[in-house]
Amino acid sequence: MSDNPQNNRFGAGSAASNGSLASRIGASFFQRKSDSTATQNRPAPTFNRTTNTAQTSAFGSTANRSASTLSQRVAQNGNAIASVMRKTSQPNRAQFTPSTYPGITNLAIASQKAGYDSVSARNPDIQPTTQDRLQVQSRTVSDMQYQRFAKYIEDQSGIVLGDNKHYLVNSRLSSLLLRFKVATIDELINRAMQPNIYKDISSAVIDAMTTNETLWFRDTYPYLALKNIILPELARSGKTPVRIWSAACSSGQEPYSIAMIVQEQATNMVHVDPNQCQIIGTDISPEMLDRCRFAHYDNHALARGLSAERKAKFFKPTKDPNVMRVDDKIKQMVTFKQMNLLGSYSLLGRFDVIFCRNVLIYFSNEVKSQILNKFALCLNPGGYLILGSSESIQGLSDKYEMVRCNPGLAYRLK
């Protein structure tokens, strides 16, 4: 979880989040309407410009790339993570159409669309036509609507925006205006607050406001504590199965990191059997959970906190040289479920360890206390709760005792 309020989520992330794979390479190929028959046989320019100057693509190539090279790029990046652009009757306007292949899923198409939406929202070279621009009348939330929205988001997800986060609402929701053909952020918020009528908009708005950035083995010390203290303790007790919960798991790095630790620890004399370890990852966003289950990560994501040794040991190549997938022996250890931390945890059962890191800092003290007490009801006797490095339970719950792990802290159920 991110320490930055703009990068945090309490279980939700949009498929259109800045860190998504589709956002970086999903919308890499664009075509421009040509007025000349001769130019129709040229390689498609990378961006949709009104000038005739050379153009640079997301891969750093220029518009005069040969058709065969461009075809190779499409072949390499076409599958479930690429967006393909086609010419339209509107001059200087690129339009999204998904790449298709046998067995393509709705998730794959959504990922492609998310990539196009994200790039088009940020890149001036592919901004909408003048006609489309006129449809967007305001990208700024009004003061009155901000107050309504802040209360709505807190009720729905526990996020406390505060009094001066207008910029966050504006930046997070602006890209949704064109996606849903809504003229103003105020109107988008009005629709989002009517989930029975505008379910897709409501879900997308909550996802946008709870998007986070995560990485592998974040902060290191929780995983050292798990490997050197907690797992050996559980192994000596002989308890099976060992159950670990990763709450607000985002795009899956945390629960998969936990699974890798269990696999590595299995080489010790006293260890937890990976086949007897159940890891549950929960998140509020169905889209994010689909990404977790897909378990494919690009080079940028893999470079964040993952050593070369673990990458070689726990990941497998895919047809895309820029993407790797989690090895099946790790993937099968983790189950993902949708859940809101503000709701009931009773259906999850009991756990020996709960990871809930860099989440509580964004809740009110009242909500923090409620969540901590609900965690206590989910822990087995002597179970561990691991929070973020900047989080504390002081004054919020008396059901835990602090354990110094050297380095770092954990909390054990009394």
Taking 50 as the threshold, does the pLDDT of residue 91 lie above it? no
Q: What is the pLDDT of residue 209?
A: 87
Q: What is the pLDDT of residue 55?
A: 41
Q: How far apart are CA 248 and CA 337, in angstroms?
A: 10
Instruction: Work out the pLDDT band at 40, boundaries 50, 70, 90.
Output: very low
Taking 70 as the threshold, does the pLDDT of residue 128 lie above it? no
Taking 50 as the threshold, does the pLDDT of residue 108 lie above it? yes
Taking 80 as the threshold, does the pLDDT of residue 293 lie above it? yes
Q: What is the pLDDT of residue 122?
A: 55
Provide mean pLDDT across the span 14-40. 41
Provide mean pLDDT across the span 258-280. 95
Pairing relation of β-strands 409-413 and 379-386?
antiparallel
The overall pTM is greater than 0.85: no
Residue 140 backbone phi and psi in degrees, to 5:
-125, 130
Q: What is the pLDDT of residue 214?
A: 85
Q: What is the pLDDT of residue 158?
A: 82
Instruction: Work out the pLDDT band at 71, boundaries 50, 70, 90.
Output: very low
Taking 90 as the threshold, does the pLDDT of residue 316 lie above it? yes
Q: What is the pLDDT of residue 54?
A: 40
- Dihedral of alpha carbons 329, 282, 1, 397, sign: negative
346 in helix, strand or coil?
Answer: helix
Instruction: Work out the pLDDT band at 404, boundaries 50, 70, 90.
Output: very high
pLDDT over 90 percentage in the chain: 52
Residue 270 vs residue 130, higher pLDDT: 270
Provide mean pLDDT across the span 54-64. 40
Provide mean pLDDT across the span 54-83. 43
**Any idea how long the chain is?**
414
Residue 100 backbone phi and psi in degrees, to 5:
-125, 155
Q: What is the pLDDT of residue 103?
A: 63
Taking 90 as the threshold, does the pLDDT of residue 184 lie above it? yes
Provide mean pLDDT across the span 274-298. 93
Any residues with CB less than 8 A from the CB of 202 and at least 6 apart, and which? 191, 192, 193, 194, 195
Q: What is the pLDDT of residue 90?
A: 44
Q: What is the pLDDT of residue 134?
A: 43
385 in helix, strand or coil?
Answer: strand
Say if residues 171 and 177 touch (Cβ distance below 8 Å): no
Q: What is the pLDDT of residue 97?
A: 64
Q: What is the pLDDT of residue 164?
A: 84
Q: What is the pLDDT of residue 79?
A: 42
Taking 80 as the threshold, does the pLDDT of residue 73 lie above it? no
Taking 50 as the threshold, does the pLDDT of residue 370 lie above it? yes
Arch. (CATH architecture) of 221-413 = 3-Layer(aba) Sandwich (3.40)
Q: What is the pLDDT of residue 225?
A: 96
Residue 22 vs residue 104, higher pLDDT: 104
pLDDT tens, residue by residue, 252-265? 999 999 999 999 99
User: Where does the chain hold its CATH 3.40.50.150 domain(s)?
Assistant: 221-413
Taking 80 as the threshold, does the pLDDT of residue 80 lie above it? no
Provide mean pLDDT across the span 358-386. 94
